[in-house]
Amino acid sequence: MSAAAQDIATRNAVIARAIIYAVLILFAVYYLLPLYVMLANSLKPLDEIRQGNMLALPQEWTIAPWLSAWSTAQIGVQPTGLKPYFLNSVLMVVPAVAISTILGALNGYVLTKWRFRGDNIVFGLMLLSCFIPFQIVLIPSARILGLLGLAGTVPGLVLIHAVYGLGFTTLFFRNYYEAFPNELVRAAQIDGATFFQIFRRILLPSSGPIIVVTVIWQFTNIWNDFLFGSSFSSVDSIPITVALNNLVNSSTGVKEYNVHFAGAILAALPTLIVYIVSGRYFVRGLMAGAVKG
Amino acid sequence: MAQTQAEIVPVLTRRQSRAPKEVLQDWLPKLVLAPSFAIVLLFVYGFILFTVVLSFTGSKLLPDFSTWVGFSNYVRLFNHPNWLTSLKNLAIFASLYVIVCSVLGLGLAILLDQKIRAEGLIRPIYLYPMALSFIVTGVAWKWFLDPGIGLEHIVKDLGWESFSFRWIKDGQMAIYTIVIAAVWQSSGFVMAMFLAGLRGVDNEVIKAAQIDGASTVTIYRRIIIPLMRPVFLSAFVVLAHLAIKSYDLVVAMTDGGPGTSTWTPALFMQKFTFGRNEMGMGASSAIIMMMMIFSIIVPYLYSELRGERRT
Amino acid sequence: MSFLQIRNLDKSFGATRILKDINLEIAEGGFLVLVGPSGCGKSTLLNCIAGLEPITSGDISIGGRSVAGLHPSKRDIAMVFQSYALYPNMTVAGNIAFGMEIRGVPKAERDKAIREVADMLQIGHLLDRKPSQLSGGQRQRVAMGRALVRDPQVFLFDEPLSNLDAKLRVDMRTEIKRLHQRMKTTIVYVTHDQIEAMTLATKIAVLKDGVLQQFGSPAEIYNNPTNMFVADFMGSPAMNLLSGTIERDVEGVKVSLARAHGEPLKLAISEPNGLAAHAGREVVFGIRPEALTDPDGADRNARSIVEGDCLIEVVEPAGSDTFAVTRLGGKEVTARLRADARIQAGQPARLAFNLDKAVFFDPQTQARIA
């Protein structure tokens, strides 16, 4: 560990540590504040927000904003709440994550254990695809979805998310399998195991951590996506992020801040739960996505 | 050993005639990879090409390859006040976002690295915003900074009647509110990157410096922070590319407003292509965005992949 | 006669030739050791035999059947890897039985085979453990068990002892030798450790830069190295290689070696063979430390022993022997004396050169000349 605790004059050290803790706590407050504001105000009646102080706890506790956000709030033209859109997101996320993770695992396996001439170019092109601004593929993607008859449908969004997640899932698995001993694959070959047997019996059982990392990464990214959702969905297939934005930015009627906050937390809940349950893997994914390897 | 880059697949040799099953096994790896690669080639590189071509056409509502206009979309783009606003905003946003996140991230990482007892509690608090959608972040900050109910209202409520904070409604200042929200979301992540870097510093180097009589501050300034160079580079690349792509947060917080004061290139592309039916110009703006990102990413990836092969 | 045969084998990665025209053969039941410094191509050669890497040209046959192009599992071989390559997710029993499982051997038969191998290697109590719960030596045994259970025509060992500590390495070496004597199966064994090569092999192939330097029995390799590389690589402490000059006068042929003090040391060569032709030229004179000793300790059966005085620079008592370092031909020379030889650093001592064991090389080509 690089923490350089030294035995300087103790008094100064105590003051220094007090300052360090004060700064750290101050920033903890900064990071928690928006979440607190959302939570506290989602449990207040609207008047209390307008009249009172956003930082105060509710005087009159109510879960009405949550119920409204979930099932009755006006989104677009329908007073459906976020429920159907939440469901759309689930229907979109699950297959997209599954498809991109499975393909990424197979790609990583081939790119590390069955190397061939030019494999680095293939990998380089897949890697680069992680970083393109998706604006550049919006127009042709809309076209191809139309041609496939998937425009404005949940399967269309699944396809798009699976395709544009491939680069990252391949990257994750490739880097993980790169460190997996080649000798194990060779031993299995001598034992007569086939391509898929080696994958299923030798690599896959050791892939738990990277599968978790990849699934969390893909889940978070796809759940939180707005660009594709807003570009390729129709009334029936709008994902939760887009619905939330519609809810908050609809110009008609009174601004129901408490409902907006409740809706925002609803939209954030799945990824927050994933983060709380498996933060370690979440961070590892972030790192792997950022600093490859 | 000379064979570290080993190919494991035995090549087909002429002498033995081989069972079809074995031949299949030889081709299987490539067959498995091929669909993914083909999809990426089409959906990424094919589509980029499509958009490049489109940017040279006069397409309006729909792609129209019959009207070839050369570079005129690009000329119009760089003469368009909204695009120039977008670029200016991107410059402000990206530079502040990168600098503030890096400084804050490094600072917090160093503080957290002082054998902090509650590190296990504090670290996840700093990092959780990264799990949120930009839309959620946008909603939270939009209302928190709203003069009517948010910060201004709160401070006034506390008794400071003359306090005014209405940046989000002010065309000159609104872009900075987006910086605040974006920094809130990403700085914890940069902190985690730096913390991992700090933890990777060789302990013996630090012990040697301590024996040489260097103070903690000196050790950080002269030894540890210079060793963080790769992390600075990674953080820069990640943040810069996120900045160029920034779209969701702007939509959620200001939707480009007031007026066009918080437009960014990504927003411009969307509004022109799908809002104003200027598909040709939208395409050309996307191309410019891609060129900006590639100019950062490609050299980085190239050096990373090369470095990997060397080790 | 030859059971495993490698003919004109070439192996390239892109433009780099890793193995150059290798020809080797070993009789059934033989123990072939491939030895050389790292990067010499020995592991690549082993992988080519296993079928884990394609060969560029040439042929490999096992038991008279060409195996080039055959899948590794079809070559009737088994391999023990440097890292042992135990499947981390399977138990010891699962590891040993995996190959049989793939081949569809019935469960009862598999269990019987596992038990036999486990008894032979005394790993019966480990069968339900995972590799991560085993010590290095235990993993080594499991890896051998996985190879043994195949009952192959050829065993391939890729530096199997290099991850063990020194003591265990010697024990396992003995165990491998004992196993080989009992099973009488052909073995190809890769190592960079020349002691392992000497102790285990019936035939040794010395490789360097992808070229076969010498192929022969351990005694041939040790006593009659074909070039300076082999002479230097095999043996510990290494053979002394020093430059000298061949002189020819009425008394016969001599090799003249510069000494740190005084006149050059001239050693008369009783059987000069081809050396006379090199008269007046510089040669490299090679003599192993045990052929350079105190006069009382010299081999009584040697035909040609020449004595000379040398200044001793360092004395290293090693218990069973005493090593003395002197300087000849401008180089440090190690002599191996009896443990109780009376010598002192800084003093001259009389040393006996056993010229039966001396070898001569051409300093340019590094090839043996006599």
Look up the domain containing C217 and give its range: 2-233
Residue A2 has pLDDT above 50, yes or no: no
Residue C266 CB partners (closer than 8 Å, separation 6+) = C247, C254, C255, C256, C257
Torsions phi, psi of C38, nearest 5? Answer: -65, 145
Mean pLDDT on B156-179 = 87
Look at residues C200, C233, C266 and tell me which one is the last residue of a structural domain: C233
Inspect the interface and report whether the beta carbons of C71 and B25 lie closer than 8 Å. yes
Residues in C closer than 8 angstroms to A193, CB to CB, are 73, 98, 102
Residue C17: both structure tokens together: 């030739």
Give the model confidence (pLDDT) of C197-208 as tens digits.
Answer: 999 999 999 999
Residue B17: per-residue pLDDT: 53
Residue numbers of A between 69 and 108 with CB closer than 8 Å to B = 103, 106-107
What does pLDDT average to over chain A? Answer: 88
Give C52→chain A minimum CA distance, Å. Answer: 7
pLDDT > 50? residue B10? no
Nearest CA in chain A to C77: A190
CB atoms within 10 A of CB B22: 16
CATH number of the domain that residue C340 is part of: 2.40.50.140
A219 pLDDT tier (thresholds 50, 70, 90) = very high
Query: How confident is the model over A40-99, as pLDDT tens digits?
Result: 989 988 888 888 788 888 888 989 899 999 988 888 778 888 999 999 999 999 999 999
Q: Is residue C303 part of a domain?
A: yes
Least confident span in A17-31, B214-228, C105-119: B214-228
Q: Across all residues in chain C, what is the average pLDDT?
A: 90
Question: Does any domain span residue C167?
Answer: yes
Residues C175 and C39 reside in one and the same domain: yes
Q: Give yes or no for A231 touching C (CB within 8 A).
A: no
Per the rule left: phi > 0, alpha: psi between -120 and 50, beta: everything else, A67 is alpha
Interface check for A189 against chain C (CB to CB < 8 A): the answer is: yes
pLDDT at B241: 86
Q: How confident is the model at residue C329 (pLDDT cuts 50, 70, 90)?
A: confident
pLDDT level of residue B13 (50, 70, 90 thresholds): very low
Q: Which regions of chain A carry the CATH code 1.10.3720.10?
A: 83-290
Contact flag B293-A132 (C-beta cutoff 8 Å): yes
A4 pLDDT exceeds 70?
no
CA distance linking residue A244 with residue B134, whole number of Å: 11
**pLDDT-wise least confident of A224-238, B114-128, B295-309:** B295-309
Same domain, C185 and C88: yes
Compare CB distances from B3 to C53, C69, C72 and report the shortest one's residue.
C53
Domain boundary among C193, C208, C233: C233
| Percent of chain A predicted with pLDDT > 90 | 57
This prediction's pTM? 0.86
Looking up residue C150, the CATH number of its domain turns out to be 3.40.50.300
pLDDT at C177 over 70: yes
Average pLDDT over residues C79-83: 92
Only one residue has tokens 């119009």, namely: B76
pLDDT at position C44, please?
Answer: 93
Cα separation, C131 vs B216, whole angstroms: 44
User: Where does a domain end: C182, C208, C233?
Assistant: C233
Q: Could you give phi then psi for residue B242, rounded to 5 degrees?
A: -65, -40
Average pLDDT over residues C9-22: 91
Q: Residues C324, C352: one domain?
A: yes
Looking at the complex, report in whole angstroms how far the Cα of residue C195 sits from the nearest Cα belonging to chain B. Answer: 20
The Cα A252–Cα A81 span in angstroms is 15
- Beta pairing partners, B224: none
Given this model, what pLDDT does residue B81 score? 93
Tell me: do C282 and C312 sit in the same domain: yes
How many structural domains compose chain C? 2
pLDDT averaged over chain B?
Answer: 86
The pLDDT, as a whole number, for residue C157 is 95
Chain segment A132-171, per-residue pLDDT in tens: 999 999 999 999 999 999 999 999 999 999 999 999 999 9
- In terms of CATH architecture, what is B80-310? Orthogonal Bundle (1.10)
- In this predicted structure, the answer to whether residue A202 has a pLDDT above a threshold of 90 is yes
Q: What is the pLDDT of residues B277-293, one digit of tens each?
A: 899 999 999 999 999 99
Q: Are B8 and C66 a contacting pair at CB < 8 A?
A: no
* Chains in contact with C, where contact requires at least 3 CB pairs less than 8 Å apart: A, B
Quick one: pLDDT at residue B118? Answer: 85
Tell me, what's the pLDDT at B275? 87
Task: Summarize the confidence of residues C302-312 as an average pLDDT.
Answer: 86
Residue contact B8–C16, C-beta within 8 A: no
**What element of type H or E holds A140?**
helix A135-147
Q: How confident is the model at residue C113 (pLDDT cuts 50, 70, 90)?
A: very high
Q: What is the pLDDT of residue A282?
A: 77
pLDDT tens per residue across span B218-233? 888 888 888 888 888 8
Q: Are residues C198 and C268 in the same domain?
A: no
Inter-chain residue contact C18 with B3, CB threshold 8 Å: yes
CB contact under 8 A, B10 and C51: yes
Domains in chain B: boundaries = 80-310
Residue B307 has pLDDT above 70, yes or no: no
Give dist(CA C90, CA C79) in Å, integer: 18
Q: What angle do CA C228, C351, C284 make, to 5 degrees?
A: 20
CB atoms within 10 A of CB C159: 21
- CB-based contact, C182 to chain B, within 8 Å: no
Chain A interface mutation, best of B7, B26, B33, highest count of A Cβ atoms under 10 Å: B33
Size of interface A-C (CB pairs under 8 A): 59
CB-based contact A220:B131 (threshold 8 Å): yes
| pLDDT value at residue A7 | 56
CATH architecture of A83-290: Orthogonal Bundle (1.10)
Q: What is the pLDDT of residue C296?
A: 83
pLDDT at site B61: 84
pLDDT given for residue B186 in this prediction: 92
Min Cα distance A165 → chain C (Å) is 29
What pLDDT score was predicted for residue B8? 42
DSSP of C55-88, one letter per residue?
Answer: -SEEEEEETTEE-TTS-GGGS-EEEE-TT----T
CA distance C90 to chain A (A): 9
Q: What is the 3-state secondary structure (H, E, C) of A43-65?
A: CCCHHHHHHCCCCCCCCCCCCHH
Give the pLDDT band (50/70/90) at residue B149. Answer: confident
Interchain contact C29–B (C-beta under 8 A): no
pLDDT band at B84 (very low <50, low <70, confident <90, very high): very high
- Chain C residue closest in CA terms to A202: C87
Residue B308 has pLDDT above 80, yes or no: no
**Preceding peptide of C237 cis, ω within 30°:** yes
Cα-trace Rg, chain C: 25
The stretch B184-202 carries a mean pLDDT of: 89
